[in-house]
Amino acid sequence: MFENAFGVISRIAGPFITAKYMSKARMFELVKIGKERIIGEIIRVDGDLAVIQAYEDTEGIKLGERVFLTGESLSVECGPGLIGQIFDGIQRPLTVIADKTGPFIKRGEEAPPLDRKKKWYFKPKVKKGSKIIGGDIIGTVDETSLIEHKVLAPPGLKGTLKSICTEGDYSVTDLIAEVQTAEGTEKLFLMHKWPVRQPRPYNRMLHPSTPLLTGQRVIDALFPVAKGGIAVISGGFGTGKTVLLQTLAVWSTADVVVYVGCGERGNEMADVLERFQKLKAPHSDQPLMDRTIIISNVSNMPIIAREASIYTGITLAEYYRDMGYDVAVMLDSTSRWAEALREISGRLEEMPGEEGYPAYLASRLAEFYARAGHVQTLGGEERYGSITVLASISPPGGDFSEPVTINTLRLAKVFWALDPGLAYRRHYPAINWFMSYSEYLPVLEPWFRNVAEDWQILCGDARNLLKEEEELREIVALIGAEILGDKQRCVFEAAKMLKECFLVQNAFHPVDAYCPIYKTHKILRLLLDFYKKAKIAVDSGVPLIRILSLPVREKLGRLKIAPMENFDEVYSNISKEMNEQIEKLISEIRQGSTP
């Protein structure tokens, strides 16, 4: 910190402070304001004047108080101890501060993001004299039961390993290695810092080829997202955005999850914290928090910290991506982030764009989403990692034509549109199958073909069935249902079964909350088989009412809650009964025995 470098406050307007004598200041530099050393960030420099956005309440600060320069931009600490933590938007550890001050953060209160006292068992992976470049794995630490933390050489480093510590216990501030570079000796620790607004570098960007499985049938079957992709959830109030995003955070096949609560209500974030700390990670019996980082910046916290929170989250995600992990970043919600951007822009008296948002809203969104992707990481060892961004948008009144939604959809390749009509009918996830889309279907087709050869055919048949039912519904609305024969009504009933037995999924059911891809395929195949056989029976003269009254139809509805332990047996029995019962109806018609 530059102890002698300071300015003087000349104007205070809420959280915005103007200071003079700031000729040494830089854009986005962190400062300490007043006697209480409140944290702030410089957002405009004009000669020797600097406009500062305070991260905390400015009440009680007076004109003439000093503003101290730190010489640093907003950065995060990268090292072991991040997983399982709860930070605010500028990486202050909320649990640590709560232990000191209670549930509310006192002004000027600080704590290091990583515990300086905790010892980590470090195992070196390189030897003295080795050539080291940025991204090389120096050693490993068992961070949690699910994550092996790979201690990386910081990007940009190049030299020869001068010394390295032996295997043992070290804190994040203990010296573990020294690298001789062209400029001198570089000291390495278990942690290093990285500025949040600067993307971490990588070797090259790769095309996505593997889906991020979510365990949600409507997503995995109809609108999948690839690892390294961008997906957007948008819908009006009460459509289930937050619950869906929480469900994806719990059940997605990512190695690491970074959940960013950006401007959401405090009760929703409290629900996230309580729920996540009780759940187990999928495919293991370990706590969910052993792979999760939570950034909590609720609506009553300062707006500038809200604006910074998504950058803090994506930077931590990049750090674990560089280790070779697949990371999922959940943003709830980007609308609140954009509102913070709008308020900051208004305070700076910038020319407003559409609906008051700054003219650079689109470019800021593009810069942020460009940090997602599937990459080959830095380092001599060939290593691959990905960041998948799953973002929710809360458009006012459910209007998808508002600026945040429109500008985001230009960047995202997956759109999950939440329908209030479905939500009011208790159809969850309330994803509208006509408005939603996924542009990853062609690139993911080879992967899904390995799951089942008929995967794409089944998914296409399901879409066609839903489309055919919607077309018939429009005709019925004009003419009436009386004109429909059994063939047309068969479409209605099959689509109804597809919705109720496949698309509807209970996020709080112990079995139905997560549906493996194998089970998703089997359920879809059986439902479409029933539809095909029902059409054959109707063509053979079997009344539709007799098909709908078959006992197997009720069992089809319960197939989705069948546990995986005996799912194959249940599936085989239902398939056998379905064939026998429909064949029996057709046989009775052919023999003329129908009453």
Asked if residue 366 has pLDDT above 70, the reply is yes
Q: What is the DSSP secondary-structure string of 553-565?
A: HHHHHHGGGS-GG
The least confident of 207-221, 298-312, 324-338 is 298-312
Q: What is the mean pLDDT of residues 172-195?
A: 94
Looking at domain 115-193, its CATH architecture is Beta Barrel (2.40)
| 455-590 to CATH, choices 3.40.1550.10, 1.10.1140.10, 3.20.10.10, 3.90.850.10 | 1.10.1140.10
Q: What is the pLDDT of residue 362?
A: 94
Is 467:432 a contact under the CB 8 Å cutoff? no
Beta bridge partners of 330: 259, 390
Q: What is the pLDDT of residue 481?
A: 62
Whole-angstrom distance, CA of residue 114 vs CA of residue 412:
34
Domain span(s) for CATH 2.40.30.20 in the chain = 6-73
CATH, domain range 6-73: 2.40.30.20
pLDDT tens per residue, range 42-83: 988 988 999 998 888 888 889 999 999 988 899 999 999 999
Domain span(s) for CATH 1.10.1140.10 in the chain = 455-590
- Burial (CB < 10 A; 0-12, 13-18, 19+), residue 485, is exposed
Q: What is the mean pLDDT of residues 317-345?
A: 93
What pTM was estimated for this model as a whole? 0.92
Q: What is the mean pLDDT of residues 419-441?
A: 94
**Tokens, residue 73:** 């931009």
Of 88, 144, 123, which is closest to residue 325 (Cα–Cα)? 144
- Distances from the Cα of 441 to the Cαs of 214, 388, 411, 455, in angstroms? 15, 16, 17, 11
Q: What is the pLDDT of residue 475?
A: 80
Looking at domain 212-349+385-440, its CATH architecture is 3-Layer(aba) Sandwich (3.40)
The least confident of 6-15, 154-163, 305-314, 482-491 is 482-491
Name the residue with higher pLDDT: 298 or 220.
220
Domain span(s) for CATH 3.40.50.300 in the chain = 212-349+385-440
- Average pLDDT over the chain reads 91
Whole-angstrom distance, CA of residue 509 vs CA of residue 522:
20
Is 279:273 a contact under the CB 8 Å cutoff? no
- Distances from the Cα of 228 to the Cαs of 135, 254, 313, in angstroms? 19, 11, 15
Beta bridge partners of 295: 87, 260
Is 263:298 a contact under the CB 8 Å cutoff? yes
Task: Please provide residue 586's backbone torsions phi and psi, each rounded to the nearest 5 degrees.
Answer: -65, -40
**Reduced to 3 states, what is the DSSP secondary structure of residue 424?**
helix
Of 210, 226, 230, 212, which is closest to residue 390 (Cα–Cα)? 230
